[in-house]
């Protein structure tokens, strides 16, 4: 039950103000003894031409009390509401146990489609840690929007096109050995690609050869296309392994190549609108009015580029999915690119450009230098994931050596630790990567939250069957009430995370809930309490576990049953 909403409705029925507006204005009082919610009467005062404190007093008298609302008190220009604790606790827990993983969901997004483009690695290039951040963030954002009732589509805009594929074909024809490539496809392809550059320094004719291969690819020559498809498949197979580990399935892998035949239309549209200008032989769109550098559309040799493909993709997506919002979960380092091509769309008269959003992810900074990759600057996603799982397994081996399914648990906890770290802060801040903090079972970490969940689960297991109809009026302590209050905030939390495109709002929430539960567990007996109290506390435990699991699920973190 959403008590805030119920109160807002009550205020609305007594005034001319709309429920939505009231919800916006409502606050949480600074001190608990001032009530659970406060409604400031200042805006009403303007409309009603009355003093705010008078309005507050009048409303306090008029408002209808019931099993959810104990009293309403005027305090200056504020109207403070005191929830009926017993009614609130009963409604909230009953609702959580009834709705299970649907708790906190809404129909806010009904009939609206949100596209979430994320991950988008490049073919024949390493899937690096930045891609992993985008993958994890996008995955969570998609789940959040789905929980809010939107129809969501997961898109992977693979980097599978460009002149570099001419180079790769040339390198492969010269030095590629299938058996070697099969063993470690991405690294091998990368190796021959690097070799190409070294050799081309000595023999510039290689560049001509590469250009010729790329031309063949563009013209659809079967051999070139077959090789390109092979590279694409080899890379995708590797990427898919990682996606499977994180339980991610994309709805579409339409990458940059998919739009290659859709670009002449873009160029035509821009020409028709008189937006294309020549600059040193290249075609650009001037963006001075937006205070942005020009957007390059066609290079001087007529070749199209990244931005042009993004323009084509955006138009295609609008036509295909008629989206309400189209989100691009990509590193902040590409912010300028997105501003530029969104502006070009706007200039071209596509009003829906305002519904395209770049959700810019942060950079990863390493607290412990040791993580620097064995292979130079690039940190491979797979290495980080493998190491996290390995390290978690070591911890489990020392803490709980007899645990069943240790490998499976280590995988969930290790990957959960990475996800938590990536989604811990808002995206304006760098991600600080420290093995020690990340894998700690105390403090703010993925393992800490998971451990709290598992602790609750083990209590429920020990208790065996929990009573059919526990009498929740036995939840009388302030700690219990505060925890239920927190449970009641879940829906608003999910909405806020969606409105802000910020999964960290949920990370914060599950951390607070885990902390509250641990505090409760440490100060109040559960299994050894009197029967009635025990039953009520078990129901509360079950509700906490359920909401923790749903919240973690929205982050993409899977919960083990024990650890
Ligand atoms: N493949 C690009 C990279 O690895 C990211 C693509 C981002 N998406 C887009 N629509 N431009 O940097």
pLDDT band at 353; cut points 50, 70, 90: very high
Compute the distance from residue 131 Cα to the ligand 1 centre, in Å.
Answer: 9
Residue 312's CATH number: 3.40.50.620
Please tell me the number of Cα atoms within 13 Å of 255 on its side-chain side: 17
Closest residue by CA, ligand 1 atom 5? 120
How many other C-beta atoms are found inside a 10 Å radius of the C-beta of residue 132?
24
Q: How far apart are CA 78 and CA 309, in angstroms?
A: 54
Tell me the two tokens of residue 420: 């938590």
Compute the distance from residue 247 Cα to the ligand 1 centre, in Å.
Answer: 21
For 5-24, give the secondary structure using H, E and C.
HHHHHHHHHHCCCCHHHHHH
Same domain, 353 and 374: no
Alpha carbon 386 to its chain centroid, in Å, reads 22
Same domain, 119 and 156: yes
What is the model's pTM?
0.92
Residues 6 or more apart in contact with residue 521 via CB below 8 angstroms? 455, 456, 459
Same domain, 120 and 228: yes
Residues 6 or more apart in contact with residue 385 via CB below 8 angstroms? 132, 242, 245, 414, 415, 418
As a whole number of Å, the end-to-end CA separation of the chain is 33
Which residues are near ligand 1 (CB < 6 Å)?
A: 117, 120-122, 157, 159, 310, 328, 330
- What does the mean pLDDT of the chain come to? 93
For 291-346, give the secondary structure using H, E and C.
CCCCEEEECCCCCECHHHHHHHHHHHHHHHHCCCEEEEEEEHHHHHHHHHHHHHHH
If one counts the domains in the chain, the total is 3
What value does the mean pLDDT take over residues 424-438?
94
Query: 121-142: per-residue pLDDT in tens?
Result: 999 888 999 999 999 999 999 9
Sign of the torsion formed by the C-alpha atoms of 428, 434, 437 and 440? positive
Query: 383-422: per-residue pLDDT in tens?
Result: 999 999 999 999 999 999 999 999 999 999 999 999 999 9
Could you identify the atom of ligand 1 that is nearest to the CA of residue 310? Answer: 10
Query: Which among 318-332, 426-440, 457-471 has the top mean pLDDT?
Result: 318-332
Q: Which residue has the tokens 């450009």?
A: 353
Same domain, 449 and 390: yes
Closest residue by CA, ligand 1 atom 6? 120
Please tell me the number of Cα atoms within 13 Å of 531 on its side-chain side: 3
Compute the distance from residue 285 Cα to the ligand 1 centre, in Å.
Answer: 21
Same domain, 122 and 203: yes
List for the chain the helix, strand, coil content (%; round to 5). 60, 10, 30
Same domain, 250 and 325: yes
Q: What is the pLDDT of residue 304?
A: 65
Whether 561 is covered by a domain: the verdict is no
Closest residue by CA, ligand 1 atom 11? 310
Same domain, 183 and 326: yes
Same domain, 122 and 231: yes
Where among 294, 329, 361 does a domain terminate? 361
User: Given ligand 1 and candidates 119, 127, 133, 159, which is best to mutate, with the most ligand atoms within 8 Å of its CB?
Assistant: 159
Catalytic residue positions, numbered: 125, 128, 131
Q: What are phi and psi of 86, to 5 degrees?
A: -60, -45
Same domain, 353 and 380: no
Same domain, 392 and 447: yes
Whether 63 is covered by a domain: the verdict is yes
Query: 498-516: per-residue pLDDT in tens?
Result: 999 999 999 999 999 999 9
Whether 107 is covered by a domain: the verdict is no
Sign of the torsion formed by the C-alpha atoms of 290, 291, 297 and 300? positive
Whether 447 is covered by a domain: the verdict is yes
Same domain, 191 and 74: no
Q: What is the pLDDT of residue 2?
A: 72
**SS3 (DSSP) at 275:** coil
Residue 28's CATH number: 3.30.1360.70
Q: What is the pLDDT of residue 466?
A: 78
Compute the distance from residue 419 Cα to the ligand 1 centre, in Å.
Answer: 21
Do 114 and 63 contact (CB within 8 A), yes or no?
no
User: Given ligand 1 and candidates 115, 119, 120, which is best to mutate, with the most ligand atoms within 8 Å of its CB?
Assistant: 120
Ordered DSSP codes for 138-191 = HHHHHHHHHHTT-EEEEE---B--STHHHHHHHHHHHH--HHHHHHSHHHHHHH
Q: What is the pLDDT of residue 301?
A: 73
What value does the mean pLDDT take over residues 263-277?
96
What value does the mean pLDDT take over residues 538-545?
97
User: Which residue segment(s) compose the domain that 178 sits in?
Assistant: 113-361
In order of 127, 305, 412, the CA distances from 242 in angstroms are 10, 28, 13
Q: How far apart are CA 1 and CA 134, in angstroms?
A: 34
Q: What is the pLDDT of residue 302?
A: 64
Whether 392 is covered by a domain: the verdict is yes
Compute the distance from residue 403 Cα to the ligand 1 centre, in Å.
Answer: 42
Same domain, 177 and 323: yes
């Amino acid at each position: 039950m959403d008590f805030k909403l119920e109160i807002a409705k009550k205020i609305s029925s007594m005034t001319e103000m709309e429920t939505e507006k009231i919800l916006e204005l409502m606050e949480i009082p600074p001190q608990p003894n001032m009530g659970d919610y406060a409604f400031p009467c200042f805006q009403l005062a303007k409309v009603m031409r009355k003093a705010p404190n008078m309005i507050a007093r009048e409303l306090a008298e008029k408002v209808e009390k019931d099993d959810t609302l104990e009293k309403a008190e005027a305090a200056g220009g504020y109207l403070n509401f005191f929830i009926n604790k017993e009614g609130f606790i009963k409604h909230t827990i009953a609702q959580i146990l009834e709705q299970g993983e649907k708790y906190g969901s809404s129909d806010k997004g009904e009939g609206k489609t949100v596209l979430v483009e994320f991950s988008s690695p490049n073919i024949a290039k390493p899937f690096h840690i930045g891609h992993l951040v985008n993958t994890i963030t996008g995955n969570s954002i998609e789940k959040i929007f789905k929980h809010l009732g939107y129809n969501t589509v997961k898109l992977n805009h693979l980097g599978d096109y460009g002149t570099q594929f001419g180079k790769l074909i040339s390198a492969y024809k010269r030095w590629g050995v299938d058996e070697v490539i099969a063993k470690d496809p991405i690294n091998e392809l990368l190796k021959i690609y690097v070799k190409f550059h070294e050799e081309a320094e000595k023999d510039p004719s290689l560049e001509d050869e590469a250009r010729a291969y790329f031309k063949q690819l563009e013209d659809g020559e079967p051999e070139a296309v077959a090789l390109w498809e092979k590279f694409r498949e080899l890379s995708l197979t590797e990427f898919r392994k990682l996606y499977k580990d994180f339980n991610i399935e994309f709805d579409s892998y339409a990458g940059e190549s998919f739009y290659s035949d859709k670009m002449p239309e873009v160029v035509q549209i821009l020409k028709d609108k008189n937006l294309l200008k020549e600059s040193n032989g290249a075609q650009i769109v001037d963006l001075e009015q937006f205070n942005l550098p020009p957007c390059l559309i066609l290079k001087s040799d007529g070749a199209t580029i990244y931005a042009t493909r993004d323009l084509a993709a955006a138009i295609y997506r609008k036509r295909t999915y008629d989206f309400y919002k189209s989100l691009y979960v990509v590193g902040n380092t590409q912010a300028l690119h997105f501003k530029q091509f969104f502006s070009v769309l706007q200039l071209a008269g596509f009003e829906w450009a305002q519904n395209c959003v770049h959700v810019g992810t942060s950079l990863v900074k390493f607290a412990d230098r040791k993580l620097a990759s064995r292979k130079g600057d690039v940190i491979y996603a797979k290495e980080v994931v493998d190491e996290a799982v390995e390290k978690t397994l070591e911890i489990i081996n020392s803490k709980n050596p007899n645990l069943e399914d240790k490998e499976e648990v280590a995988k969930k906890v290790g990957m959960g630790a990475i996800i938590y770290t990536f989604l811990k802060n808002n995206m304006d801040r760098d991600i600080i990567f420290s093995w020690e903090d990340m894998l700690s079972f105390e403090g703010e970490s993925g393992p800490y939250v998971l451990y709290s969940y598992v602790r609750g689960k083990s209590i429920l297991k020990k208790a065996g069957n929990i009573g059919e109809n526990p009498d929740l009026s036995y939840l009388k302590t302030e700690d219990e009430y505060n925890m239920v209050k927190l449970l009641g905030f879940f829906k608003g939390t999910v909405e806020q995370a969606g409105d802000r495109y910020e999964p960290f709002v949920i990370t914060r929430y599950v951390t607070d809930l885990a902390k509250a539960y641990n505090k409760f567990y440490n100060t109040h007996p559960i299994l050894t309490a009197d029967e009635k109290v025990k039953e009520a506390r078990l129901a509360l435990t079950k509700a906490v576990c359920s909401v923790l699991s749903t919240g973690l699920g929205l982050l993409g973190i899977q919960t083990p049953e024990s650890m």
